[in-house]
Amino acid sequence: MGAEDRDPAERSRSARGERGHEPQLDRLRAWIDEVETSYRLILESKKFRLAERIGRVSRALRRAPAQDSFESITTRLLEHGRACLGAAAEAGAARPTAGAVRARGTGPAPRLPDPRPDVTVVVPIHDAFEALEACLDSLARHTTLASTLLLIDDASEDARIEPLLDRMAASASVRVLRNPENLGFVRTVNRALRATESDVVLLNSDTRVGPRWLQNLQLAAYCRPRIATATALSDNAGAFSAPDIGRANEVPARLASADVARLVAQASARSYPLVPTGSGFCMYMSRRAIREVGCFDEEAFGRGYGEENDFCMRARDLGWLHVVDDATYVLHARSKSFGGDRERLVQEHRRILDERHPEYTPLIRKMPTDPALARARERIARAFEGAAAREAGSAPRPRVLFVLHEGSGGTPQTNLDLARGLAPRYESFILSSDTNTLRLFRVGADDRETLESWPLEPRWEVTDLQRPDVHAIVTDLLARYAIEIVHVRHLLGHTCDPVYAAHELSIPVVVSFHDFYMICPTFHLLDERERFCAGECTPGEGDCRIPSSWVKRGLPALKHRWIHKWRAQMGRTLGKAGAFVTTSQVAHDVVVAAYPELAERRFPVIEHGRDLAACESLAEAPRAGGKVRILVPGNLDVHKGARFLEDVARADRGRRLELHFLGRVPERFAGLGVLHGEYAREDFAAHAGAIRPHFAGIFSIWPETYCHVLSEAWAAGIPVLVTRGGTLEERLAAHGGGWTVDADDPAGSLESILAIADDAERWAAGQRSATATGLRTVAAMAADYASLYEVVLEDARVFQGVAGAMEAAPR
């Protein structure tokens, strides 16, 4: 049956499946590329050729049948990989087992050395003021890895450069060096290399970088042992040009330079192809390699051209490697500063290279056909074609990763609302946990698309505060999916590794408090006597109330004991975040009381939003002296006031109250009223309309942090009864539409409820205020989060002073 004969739903599922399998196919291709490249390097090595000769002589002397050679084994391995790739394509790209094929074919993602290497970005300068301005502007906007900017001026003649550099020198993260006379490019670079002991990135002043460019380069430079250099790809950098090698490429016309760089990073498989040499237009250099190999040869290559190639070949002779960072794309103007001398210099210096390194030219000639590089260029070509085909103004969006638990509760549902509200500005991914499996989703307009999953072996327990396996998984996915912000919505089912991994990769982190789990695993801060402790252990021993079976499994003695270790770990974790959010002032104050250090941090209150359309009131006016129907929405439990309702029911000797429960009710509380079962949140109004309640009752004995059913009741025109002393009372005071009762006084609360029900005028006044008017929308919530993300990204910029210096520079 052809695609046109299938029903639309089936075609949609098929299309989603094909898109979903592309990352796995890309990783399989990257693995094959890696094996082929490693195989070629081994075959070319002197040690291998010598070992093979010795082996052949040894076998001849023994007159024994030759065993499988390295070549034959590797050939079969590659044939098997290609067969798998072909079979996957023929079978509709069947998904490999999650985690079976890694992004680079080398097991878990590499971790940067600890401590993380310092980096100095070296920009040699000689005139070209306009190009320099564009370069510095891009550095100021997009450098978010702690580093130093070293600007070294080779006796520029343009009068505008000196005052600009004077202003730059005032920034704490910028160093300025000036050559008293023109030394030429190579001597200028060597002076910079000797002026620092850190790793170095050489960056031409006629380049423009994009988001997370420096983090990407550093990851490439440490993706395996003994890497000397990592070079970016570019629109115009000779052998490092992409999509087409050796020429100036046109990038999608409607995209800014940062958007082009983001597009390439998001399309990258991060295969990090091995190459014989790097290119100094944007090249990360390991300090260890510089110490071992030395600086550039300024005697032979003083004016430039070929100096980095000679360095790379010398490093190669000492066992160092060079890679291409296929996730970083740097625009390059390629100024013609050498004029008519260019061709002569290229020819002279190429002759020196060939004399010193006879293998240089044969190696360079293989680069255009290198399979790993070809695959990287193909991905960029596809990305550019896709961008060109999209409507005007459509640019790749920054990616945010939400971390939360799996389930159907308020936090996951609100998170989907937020992700879809952010869609015009951010592309959203979700990392969820059900304690057995981590799953990664991409959020679409109508559903979540599953991308990958990883089994947790052993299963997560609450004492798993950090785990190496989880850390490696999160580090890998953050890099491969080009995540720019991590927003921890909830850590239930997770270790703290998403925060630590993001921090190590210099990805800004936002942490939300949807309850008080990060203060105490009790979530609601209720002790063994169901008293709210506000985060301070109450006197006495006992097992505090834990509502989650996930947390109960493996939980040590908590009160006065393990809570201290928990709080210390969470404090360290919160210290690595850039901002915090909660949904009410009451919740904010509880968190700050537990973690006073957050009082001076960025910590806004952003209310949840819901798109709840106002409808004709579904409430019915009570009759004086008659039955009083109270709708109790949401899943009932102790923290939601179940025991309070038991006490109210005992006090109701006239049996006037009629409780209607909409949601899950534990069996021990089933006799309290009429059970209507669980419901989907979009069906709330239909259920309420069938019940026609006089009130909606929300009787939490903890201060809540928001409460969606309160909004749902108001949108349905139902006046509410809420307990005092928390977010519910805070919201009621701001909105109107109900009354408070005292959870510590069940009999008094019953008396108050009946008095309101018997006072028609008072009830009607409350009912008139029960409306959707003034409730937050999803769009308003998303706008607040988008603004927060922009501020957090701005905070992450390293060269803050550069932008101000440039603005003040003369034109």
Mean per-residue pLDDT of the chain: 88
CATH of the domain at 673: 3.40.50.2000
One domain, residues 416 and 543: yes
φ and ψ of 412, to 5 deg? -60, -40
In this prediction, residue 196 carries a pLDDT of 97
Start-to-end Cα distance in the chain: 66
CATH of the domain at 295: 3.90.550.10
Q: Indicate whether 203 belongs to any domain.
A: yes
One domain, residues 423 and 315: no
Q: For the residues 546-566, what does the mean pLDDT come to?
A: 95
Euclidean distance between CA atoms 541 and 431, whole angstroms: 37
Q: Indicate whether 7 belongs to any domain.
A: no
Q: Band the pLDDT of 178: cuts 50, 70, 90.
A: very high
Q: Which of 357, 389, 421 is the last residue of a domain?
A: 389
Cα distances from 653 to residues 475, 629, 656, 697, in angstroms, run 61, 16, 8, 20
Q: Indicate whether 95 belongs to any domain.
A: no
The residue to which tokens 């008139």 are assigned: 768
* Three-class secondary structure assignment of 232-257: EEECCCHHHECCCCCCCCCCCCCCCH
Q: Band the pLDDT of 443: cuts 50, 70, 90.
A: very high
pTM: 0.86
Q: Indicate whether 616 belongs to any domain.
A: no
Contact in structure between 525 and 702 (CB atoms under 8 Å): yes
Query: What sign does the dihedral 687-688-692-695 (CA atoms) show?
Result: positive
Least confident of 20-34, 336-350, 577-591, 698-712: 20-34
In this prediction, residue 110 carries a pLDDT of 57
Q: Which of 556, 582, 600 is the last residue of a domain?
A: 600
Encoded tokens for 76: 């079969």
Residue partners of 664: CB distance under 8 A and separation at least 6: 635, 636, 678
Q: Indicate whether 804 belongs to any domain.
A: no
Residue-wise pLDDT for 203-222, tens only, equals 999 999 999 999 999 999 99
Q: Band the pLDDT of 224: cuts 50, 70, 90.
A: very high
pLDDT above 70: percentage of residues in the chain:
85
One domain, residues 649 and 763: yes
In this prediction, residue 345 carries a pLDDT of 81
One domain, residues 228 and 328: yes
Residue partners of 764: CB distance under 8 A and separation at least 6: 621
Higher pLDDT, 6 or 686: 686
* Three-class secondary structure assignment of 552-581: HCCCCCHHHHHHHHHHHHHHHHHCCCCEEE
One domain, residues 580 and 647: no
Q: How far is CA 139 from the centre of its chain?
A: 21
Q: Indicate whether 96 belongs to any domain.
A: no
Q: For the residues 25-31, what does the mean pLDDT come to?
A: 60
10 Å Cβ neighbour count for 349? 20
One domain, residues 281 and 142: yes
Closest C-alpha among 11, 23, 35, 33 to residue 88: 23
Strand partners, 439: 432, 453
In this prediction, residue 56 carries a pLDDT of 53
One domain, residues 434 and 567: yes
CA R_g for the chain: 32
One domain, residues 190 and 71: no
One domain, residues 308 and 186: yes
Closest C-alpha among 742, 690, 745, 746 to residue 718: 690
In this prediction, residue 390 carries a pLDDT of 81
One domain, residues 514 and 593: yes
Q: How far is CA 316 from the centre of its chain?
A: 35
One domain, residues 127 and 251: yes
In this prediction, residue 391 carries a pLDDT of 67
Q: Indicate whether 786 belongs to any domain.
A: no
Least confident of 91-105, 121-135, 179-193, 285-299: 91-105
In this prediction, residue 335 carries a pLDDT of 60
Bridge pairing between strands 427-433 and 437-443 = antiparallel
Higher pLDDT, 756 or 86: 756
Q: Band the pLDDT of 808: cuts 50, 70, 90.
A: low
Residue-wise pLDDT for 758-783, tens only, equals 999 999 999 999 999 999 999 999 99
Q: Indicate whether 77 belongs to any domain.
A: yes
In this prediction, residue 135 carries a pLDDT of 96
Write out the residue range of the structural domain in which residue 434 sits.
Answer: 406-600
10 Å Cβ neighbour count for 795? 13
Bridge pairing between strands 148-153 and 119-125 = parallel
Q: Which of 90, 106, 137 is the last residue of a domain?
A: 90
One domain, residues 62 and 140: no
User: What is the count of structural domains for the chain?
Assistant: 4
In this prediction, residue 341 carries a pLDDT of 72
Q: For the residues 546-551, what does the mean pLDDT come to?
A: 94
